[in-house]
Structure 1
Amino acid sequence: MTEPDVHTLTGPYVLDALPEDERVRFEAHLTECTFCSTEVAELRTAAVKLATQVSTPPPPALKANVMAAINDVRQLPPQVPVVEPGPRVRRFTRRSVLTLAAAALAVAAAGGVAVDQYRDRTAAEHANQQMAAVLAQPDARTVHGTVEGGGQATVVLSTKADKSVVVLRDLPKLPADHTWQLWMMDPANKATSLGLTDGDLTRVINGSTTGMATFGLTIEPTGGSPTPTLPPAALVPLT
């Protein structure tokens, strides 16, 4: 376990997922690293909140769903803390967040989405709870599709809750005067806009799920369009 790597182990440590030898070495590291000690305490708090709010018995397909979700997320190098004067802004390592996302899926009893790095902790916890609520639905299902030119679209949806979670990853960069627009389409191809994004995102969508047959992603002029511009960059069947 090299010194740069040790900072990425806060998430597995909180979930008691480290082998014994790594656990012993990491606990020794905690006595010297204020950054990791603080992150361990905060991740434990987040994990407890997720567990107490969305606890349900796990389904048989849980493990396969969680592993598939992790494979869809690009790994980034660990973030090593830099000591600078002034107030410190907390940033979780991406591995820690992915590990907690997997724990949230396990508690919620379904899988398919990994949670992005925390930006604002209060907003992130609220988003985690919304995603877990979708994943906990008995009819929750996950669908995947590729994006023209590169990237992937994943949708976790529950018709019963009339909610979905949309995850877009590795989208190509668009010209400054264009944007990505998200759509839900019914069996007659009537499209309902889900909003715009300049790049990768994880978004909880309330409504616009019941009766829909396809998730679509298009490239539109800045500000979006009332109807999809064809051909679409991605079409993902929801069944």
Structure 2
Amino acid sequence: MSKFIEELREAIINGDREEAEAITKKALESNIDPQVLIQEAGSKAMDIVGQRFNDFEIFLPDLTLAADAMKGSVGLIIEKLKETGGGGEDSVANIVLGTCFGDMHDIGKNLVSVLMATAGMQVHDIGVDVKVKDFIQKAEEVDAKIIAMSSLLSTSLPFMEDLIRILKEKNLRDKYYVIVGGGPVTPEFAVEIGADAYGRSAVDAREICKQLLSSGKKPPFEKPVILGDLKTN
């Protein structure tokens, strides 16, 4: 088993999707536990990649390739879990993710989606150009814990504030952690709109969501969490 784990981890770190998929297929055919592949190979590989990215040892193209390799592996694992009846959504945290209304960019969002999945979260990616009401509707539908909003356009930022305002009006604000991120988003903006967390990068977003879910603290927070701020119980 350790051979498959090490080889898959290395393929993902190197951003080699073809190799990652080939190793994943062999591992599954050898009856390696799919969850072990995700946690011991995929998740740990992305932890390493994420740390190297934060340390400026690698850059966005490298991170994107690694995430794509991980996505290929996870896709095969999900298919296997569906065949065997494993990996039900009831056992994991549901997260609704999308790009704000008026913004068609999806590269950053897609990267966040893959990285969150490697941390064992059930990501409901509702795409780009998403209206506020659709974020809320999906969150209610899947009983989400987190609503994650991304934007690369400053013209779409007001919709992040609108989401929080409408959640308050509907008495739903204490049901969801709201995390915001994207090029024009700043910690100061997150404070201004009353978000629970701010993700500087896809790697940060993944780690912050893990912290939020393990904190035992209910939203909303007095000030948004930035990576490393939140102390878990």
- Determine which structure has the larger helix proportion and give its number: 2
